[in-house]
Homo-oligomer: A and B are copies of this chain.
Amino acid sequence: MSKLQLEDLSRQLGVSKTLISMVINGKGNKYGISQKRQAEVLDAIAELNYTPNHFAKSLRTGRSNFIGLIVTDISNPFYSTIARSIEKLLFSQGFNLMVCSTEENEEREKQQVEMMVSRQGVDGLIVASTFKNSSFYEQPRISRVPIVFIDRVVPLFKANYVITDNYGGARDLVNHLLDTGCRKIACLAITPLHLSTVEDRIKGFKDAHERRGIKEAEKFVKPVNFTSIQSEVEAYLREMKEARTPYDAIFVLNNHIATILLKLLRKKEFRQFANIRVACFDDIDLFNMVTKKVSSVSQPIEDIGTSASQLVLDLIAGKQINKSTVVLNTKMVVR
């Protein structure tokens, strides 16, 4: 291997490793190194294509310039868009992003956090957690590293969050449905139900109903299993065909269910639902492409990424001491 290192440069230039190190790290002026020398060093580095050994540097400084991102599924457009905006901001600041998918599995999340955090592997972490409680994250060896949670709140855990206003968005959208003539609205929720995003959206759904004196709206809520959306929604639609007082709208808790629902509604079997209204939390491009008019709530996806990155960076720099929760507003898209 025998790659170029400080030692070699030092010999070739006839200056010490220290001096070169200072120049490389932009501390030349701070230590009063002459401009001439600095230029010489920089030239040599460029010419010889010297690049420092990241690990030696990290070992010495205790900082890696890596940030970890842990989400449930990097192939989900919601998360990959966030990933993109995070990576963009971080890269501009000299950081690199490491990504893991948990597949909504607590055990995997644990493993991945451990792996990244273990002995200063990453300087900071951004995670959309699946956890029901905070005990794992409260362990000192984990909480030692700056973490920003996104999208979901870990129940009862005081931490740094960047989330969207799930409650308000859902409430407004359901209000809109009720205001524009809907009498009975079904709500398709996604499991696990304990996720704060799901809970808050359901709460919005219920409160919109209560405001109109409709109690026990939770009876209209149908949980759909993450792993078998297609079959469960299909079964649910069949049931609905039998109902005495029919639903005139369906409020769907996420884009994944919405996509499948729209697909199913095109079947002739469900022709009778031709006029049922569909609304969705989360706005996706698909809604612009299908005949069915789907009103929705759009989340500021890019902002989640930029806010979260900025926050970790601040935490790392020690600029931010107190735990903070950033709640980003949603926007209603009426179709």
Q: Would you call B66 and A75 a contact (CB within 8 A)?
A: no
Give complex CA distance A119, B121 in Å: 17
Q: What's the minimum C-beta distance from A295 to chain B, rounded to whole angstroms?
A: 17
Q: What's the minimum C-beta distance from A59 to chain B, rounded to whole angstroms?
A: 4
Give complex CA distance A52, B121 in Å: 10
Q: Would you call A259 and B289 a contact (CB within 8 A)?
A: yes
Q: Does A74 contact B (CB under 8 A)?
A: yes
Q: Does A3 contact B (CB under 8 A)?
A: yes
Stretch at the interface among A91-99, A156-164, A203-211: A91-99
Identity of the chain B residue whose Cβ is nearest the Cβ of A96 in the assembled complex: B98
Q: How large is the interface on A (under 10, 10 to 19, 20 to 34, 35 or more residues)?
A: 35 or more
**Residues in B neighbouring A136, C-beta threshold 8 A:** none
Q: Does A88 contact B (CB under 8 A)?
A: yes
**Residues in B neighbouring A114, C-beta threshold 8 A:** 51
Q: Does A81 contact B (CB under 8 A)?
A: yes
**Residues in B neighbouring A121, C-beta threshold 8 A:** 54
Q: Would you call B91 and A81 a contact (CB within 8 A)?
A: no
Q: What's the minimum C-beta distance from A77 to chain B, rounded to whole angstroms?
A: 6
Q: Would you call A88 and B59 a contact (CB within 8 A)?
A: no
Q: What's the minimum C-beta distance from A273 to chain B, rounded to whole angstroms?
A: 16
Identity of the chain B residue whose Cβ is nearest the Cβ of A115 in the assembled complex: B96
Q: Using known A-B contacts A66-B98, A80-B80, A87-B100, determine if residue A286 contacts B286 with beta carbons closer than 8 Å.
A: yes
| One of B64, B74, B289, B291 near A55 (C-beta < 8 A) | B64
Q: Does A10 contact B (CB under 8 A)?
A: no
Give complex CA distance A116, B54 in Å: 10
Q: Does A290 contact B (CB under 8 A)?
A: yes
Q: What sequence of 0s and 1s flags, for each residue 218-258 of chain A, a beta carbon within 8 Å of any chain B beta carbon?
A: 00000000000000000000000000000000000000000
Closest 9 pairs (CB-CB, A-B): A51-B118, A80-B80, A53-B119, A75-B84, A55-B58, A55-B59, A75-B81, A55-B55, A75-B80
15 extra interface residue pairs, beta carbon distance < 8 Å, beyond A1-B62, A3-B141, A75-B83: A51-B118, A52-B119, A54-B121, A55-B56, A55-B119, A74-B83, A75-B77, A77-B80, A87-B101, A88-B101, A91-B112, A96-B100, A99-B99, A263-B288, A289-B289
